[in-house]
Amino acid sequence: MAIIREKSPSGDDLRKLLRDVGSGFISPDEAFERLVVPDDPPPAAPERDVPGVRLDFAREDRKGVGEVVYCPGKSDEQLLFIAESIRERGASMAFSRLSPEQAEMLSGRSGGMPPLVYNPISRLGTINRRDVKPLCTVVILSAGSSDIPIAEEAAGIAEFYGAAIKRFYDVGVSGLHRLLGILDELKDADVIIVAAGMDGALPSVVAGLVSCLVIGLPTSVGYGVAKDGRVALSSMLASCSPGLVVVNIDNGIGAGLAAFIVAKQHSGRRRETLS
């Protein structure tokens, strides 16, 4: 059983939803889920109270992306409580900076519920990733191979929420022919994330070549004077290339979530223009 939402969508929103169904961008079932809510309350969270944990299950409704659990500093008890709460509700959630030991601990306690999917390169873990048609395209670049773990964190979280990801790694400014060789691919992106350490020059170059938003993702890669990413951050912030915005050092999660939100909106407007 289901009931129509108390607050009906606007006429413009409903027209857009119907166009998306007609174009095959979303399925009729997904459109139905956006228009109705279940009349049964969601399962309750585990009864025990764990100090320091208050999960925000409503965040995805507010923001379009859900809560991401930052794992360093959390106890095994807290992480297990979080994982059990997610699984009991049938919700989706991602875990960032998850150590291999923490991932093994969570995977061993799945109890027949949806398993944790873990990427040891990005240290990103996810539960209940939904199988949906990609909503937009996000291109991820890394200046060097050492930037890949942070680039993969950005790619993984954007992909988790519904972005199609194209990866081009080790294309930094020390060999610009590598970047020029993929220029056509870059121009098809809704948003581009560029992960770079050292001098942090690559995002400025990319932003000067494409029309879409470029998100600079400074990494802590580099020798002494690079100051653990502070030089890359300052370089990106001081750039004169239009359309470049910057996130914090090594903040792949922030870059990936921002890219998905912007790319989804950009992709939707592009479809409306073509329809």
When comparing pLDDT for 259 and 264, which is higher?
Answer: 259
- What local confidence, expressed as pLDDT, does residue 270 receive? 58
Are residues 149 and 169 in contact, defined by beta-carbon separation less than 8 angstroms? Answer: no
Compute the distance between CA of residue 9 and CA of residue 161 in angstroms, rounded to an integer.
22
Residue 104's identity, in one-letter code, is: E
Tell whether 3 is covered by a domain: no
Tell whether 54 is covered by a domain: no
pLDDT tens column, 110-142: 555 568 899 999 999 998 776 677 778 999 999
Residue 54 scores a pLDDT above 90? no
> Are residues 147 and 240 located together in one domain of the fold?
yes
Paired tokens of 160: 């988790």
When comparing pLDDT for 50 and 37, which is higher?
Answer: 50
Residue 49 scores a pLDDT above 70? no
Give 12's contacts (C-beta < 8 A, 6+ positions apart).
Answer: none
**What is the pTM (predicted TM-score) of this model?**
0.78
- What local confidence, expressed as pLDDT, does residue 156 receive? 96
In Å, the largest CA–CA distance within the chain is: 62
Task: Among 97, 127, 157, give the residue marking a domain's end.
Answer: 127
First to last CA, the chain: 34
Residue 37 scores a pLDDT above 90? no
Tell whether 115 is covered by a domain: yes
> Are residues 190 and 87 located together in one domain of the fold?
no
Least confident of 56-60, 171-175, 231-235, 267-271: 267-271
Among residues of the chain, what percentage have pLDDT more than 90?
A: 56
Tell whether 141 is covered by a domain: yes
When comparing pLDDT for 13 and 195, which is higher?
Answer: 195
Residue 202 scores a pLDDT above 80? yes
Least confident of 25-29, 81-85, 111-115, 232-236: 111-115
Find the DSSP H helices in 65-210: 76-89, 100-107, 148-161, 176-180, 183-187, 202-207
Tell whether 255 is covered by a domain: yes
Residue that the structure tokens 């999917």 belong to: 117
> Are residues 141 and 241 located together in one domain of the fold?
yes
Task: Among 101, 127, 153, give the residue marking a domain's end.
Answer: 127
Residue that the structure tokens 């969508």 belong to: 9
Compute the distance between CA of residue 17 and CA of residue 22 in angstroms, rounded to an integer.
9
**Sign of the CA dihedral with 223 first, then 224, 229, and 235 last:** negative
Structural domain count, the chain: 3
Task: Among 100, 127, 154, give the residue marking a domain's end.
Answer: 127
> Are residues 149 and 117 located together in one domain of the fold?
no
> Are residues 104 and 150 located together in one domain of the fold?
no
> Are residues 80 and 195 located together in one domain of the fold?
no
Tell whether 5 is covered by a domain: no
Cβ–Cβ contacts within 10 Å for residue 78, how many?
A: 16
> Are residues 175 and 82 located together in one domain of the fold?
no
- What local confidence, expressed as pLDDT, does residue 273 receive? 54
Paired tokens of 23: 């174009």
> Are residues 150 and 123 located together in one domain of the fold?
no
Residue 102 scores a pLDDT above 60? yes
Averaged pLDDT, 231-237: 97
Nearest partner of 171 among 154, 190, 199, 196, judged by Cα: 196
> Are residues 259 and 147 located together in one domain of the fold?
yes
Averaged pLDDT, 177-200: 94
pLDDT level of residue 47 (50, 70, 90 thresholds) = very low
Tell whether 4 is covered by a domain: no
- What local confidence, expressed as pLDDT, does residue 60 receive? 80
Among residues of the chain, what percentage have pLDDT more than 70?
A: 80
> Are residues 140 and 270 located together in one domain of the fold?
yes
> Are residues 66 and 173 located together in one domain of the fold?
no
Q: Which domain holds residue 106?
A: 59-127
- What local confidence, expressed as pLDDT, does residue 3 receive? 39
Residue 259 scores a pLDDT above 90? yes
Averaged pLDDT, 264-269: 72
CATH number of the structural domain spanning residue 150: 3.40.50.1970
- What local confidence, expressed as pLDDT, does residue 271 receive? 54
> Are residues 101 and 146 located together in one domain of the fold?
no
Tell whether 51 is covered by a domain: no
Are residues 4 and 35 in contact, defined by beta-carbon separation less than 8 angstroms? Answer: yes
